Amino acid sequence: MNEHDKNAILFSRTVKAGKRIYYIDVKQDRRGEYYLSLTESKRLQSGTEQMPPVIEKHKIFVYREDFEKFQQAFEDALSYVHDKQGDSFSNIDTEADEASIEQGTLADDTFRLHVDFE
């Protein structure tokens, strides 16, 4: 397998959410095993004619042997949010939450998940 094939995306879904974009990609390693590449991309600053936009990216990789554990943990987290805050997601203001996080004023009972593997 050459370098280009190693980084090829076999399947992809994109979730646009305000200033953030989430990419869920299926890739293949050198042994031919599939894995998930989850990426959060967030625009921090708009670009100008002289400067490109400033974009922050965070990636995590989930390997096949961990799919079931990852799926169960994710479903548990979604169930927790559902139990605590109900079905409706239409009243969520993502930009207001982001501003509250930056200012340190997010309510104590607000559920946020941030995974950062560097």
Q: What is the pLDDT of residues 19-34, one digit of tens each?
A: 889 999 999 998 999 9
| pLDDT interval class at 11 (50, 70, 90) | very high
Q: Is residue 32 part of a domain?
A: yes
**Domain residues for 64?**
3-103
Contacts of 88 (CB under 8 A, 6+ apart): none
Q: Is residue 112 part of a domain?
A: no
Q: Hey, what are 58's tokens?
A: 């965070």
CATH number at residue 14: 3.10.450.700
What is the predicted pLDDT for the residue at 2? 58
pTM of the model: 0.62
Chain-centroid distance of CA 115 in Å reads: 8
What is the predicted pLDDT for the residue at 97? 53
What is the predicted pLDDT for the residue at 86? 81
Mean pLDDT along residues 71-85: 92
Distance CA 86, CA 18 (A): 22
CA angle 24, 29, 30 (to 5 degrees): 165
Domains contained in the chain, number: 1
**SS3 state of residue 79:** helix
Higher pLDDT, 82 or 115: 82
| pLDDT interval class at 68 (50, 70, 90) | very high
What is the predicted pLDDT for the residue at 52? 80
Query: Is the confidence at residue 55, as pLDDT, over 70?
Result: yes
Contacts of 77 (CB under 8 A, 6+ apart): 113
CA angle 8, 1, 59 (to 5 degrees): 35
